[in-house]
Amino acid sequence: MITLSCILLVTFEILDGIFFFTRKKSKKIEEESDQEHNNLLCRFVKDGTGRKIGESVSLDGDIIIIKSDDNFLGVPLKHIEDDGKTILVKGLVDFDKAYEMGEKWRKESFREINQKDKPKGQKDGF
């Protein structure tokens, strides 16, 4: 009876060790992936013809957010390519869908300040 419980205890310890190390590896892979994607921020973005679309400003899951003039565009990461100093968008871009994804991100990420809501007599600090 004692040997059976010892065998079970050792087996559970081995299995726990296996799961512990695999969790650690997957966490490390996620961190490396995040670092790789963070290198895509604050860079100019060009389309396939070399025309400047805008500048990458954020990542939202697997979507890169591009500031283009006064608009935000959302392009899936699978459609971009790192080209050293710039980022290239591969293939044709559906700008309607990209604008829709960028606008969704903007609404979720920004809280617009309305000057009318400012208390009277209070300076804005500028």
């004692």: which residue's tokens?
2
pLDDT of the chain, 126 residues: tens digit per residue: 567 776 766 676 776 666 666 555 555 555 555 556 668 889 999 988 889 999 999 998 889 999 999 899 999 998 999 888 899 998 877 889 999 999 999 988 877 666 666 666 666 555
Written in H, E and C, the secondary structure of 87-122 is: EEECCCCCHHHHHHHHHHHHHHHCCCCCHHHCCCCC
Q: Are 73 and 94 in contact (CB under 8 A)?
A: no
63-68 β-sheet, strand order: 71-76, 63-68, 52-60, 44-46, 86-89, 80-83
Q: Identity (one letter) of the amino acid at 49?
A: T
